[in-house]
Amino acid sequence: MKKVILGTTALVAASALTAGSASAAEKIKLNVGGYLQSSFVVADYDDPSNSDFLPTDIRHEGEVFFTGETTLDNGLTFGVNIQLEAYTASDQIDETFMYVEGNFGRVNVGSEDSASYLMHYNAPSPVPAWGLSSPNANASGFTTPSTLTNELGDTDKITYFTPRFAGFQIGASYTPDGDKETTSATVYAPIATEGTADEAYSLGVNYVQDFDGFNVAASLGYQVVTRTGAGVDDTDEISAGVQLGFAGFTVGGAYKYTDNDSTVAAGTDNDERQDWNLGVTYGQGPWKVGLMYAGVDFEDDSAATDGDVHAFVLGGQYVLGPGVTAFGGVQYWDADGNLETATTGEDATIFFVGTALSF
């Protein structure tokens, strides 16, 4: 089945390349963009182990994007996207993929998130960093809620998006090897060694529409990662989200259910996880304020991670100028059951102030 799908993809790509002359098109030139977020933090942990947690810290998060595209005489647009982590990381090169776009829609090929991930809508965040829908800065040690279908991450895949029609768009992803991103020793081999994760499939649909100042954005997503091995089962993720905007307000929420979760080990049988978030923001001109809540609940067959986590963030931001945003606020985290660890304790309160740059 894999050979048939990959062979068909190669034929489609070859047809696209030979469909017309590219004599008038320009060679792709890379543009540089990205973002950098820096925060000063004051934190208070309820730490039963009395380990030496720093009360203050400086947090950074950033990426550099290399992007470019060209449109051929036949109307097809080919492009590239390479994202480099701005700080040392285990996966220094983040997403890296190429795409082709035309009247038929768009196809991504490479290391990029799945269709259900990219098309998902979360609750709105009041701050550019320290949000709770997909946080890139949070209370260290606590299990992080996320309603994104992110079991595969940036594993190499093929994704197709239809054109948007009457507000609706559909996307689908096929991943030949779910272990590809974690098996660096075989990443350059034509066929990687089989791991616990085999093929994966993702389907997403969203709806975006503006009704005379009343904005609606909603999404549904499904992802399954097939697995082999003793004591493991396929991992299924189902997600849904909505945002509504009117008169400066944005309200929304999202939910994800994961069957045979991988928090303890890949595809652990009978492990269930639920993630959710709710939020509201209000803004006029350069400023915005808001409140966001997120939670996660584990039902672990072995009871190793049974429990739940609840988190809140209250904050605001102000655009100082093009690409420069100041922000600040407070997070509160509360853990129960086995998710209350000896390291983090039951709760944490974190005050933060920072600046987000985009370029």
Domains of the chain: total = 1
β partners of residue 258: 237, 273
60 falls in which pLDDT band (50, 70, 90)? confident
C-alpha to C-alpha distance for 225 and 168, rounded to whole angstroms: 26
- pLDDT 10s digits, 207-246: 999 999 999 999 999 999 988 776 678 899 999 999 999 9
β partners of residue 242: 218, 253
Judged against a pLDDT cut of 70, whether residue 314 lies above it is answered with yes
Domain-embedded: residue 27:
no
143 falls in which pLDDT band (50, 70, 90)? confident
Judged against a pLDDT cut of 70, whether residue 11 lies above it is answered with no
Domain-embedded: residue 179:
yes
Domain-embedded: residue 25:
no
Domain range enclosing 335: 2-16+33-358
Return the SS3 of 123: coil
What's the whole-model pTM score? 0.85
Torsion of CA 239, 336, 39, 117, to 10 degrees: -10
Residue 255 · residue 242 · CB < 8 Å: no
Q: Which two tokens stand for residue 118?
A: 């990219």
- pLDDT 10s digits, 248-303: 999 999 999 999 876 655 656 678 899 999 999 999 999 999 999 999 998 876 66
Domain-embedded: residue 305:
yes
Mean pLDDT of all residues belonging to the chain: 84
Domain-embedded: residue 24:
no
Torsion of CA 135, 199, 182, 158, to 10 degrees: -70
Half-sphere exposure of 256 (CA within 13 A, CB side): 31
Domain-embedded: residue 55:
yes
Domain-embedded: residue 8:
yes
Domain-embedded: residue 22:
no
C-alpha to C-alpha distance for 196 and 23, rounded to whole angstroms: 47
The CATH number covering residue 246 comes to 2.40.160.10
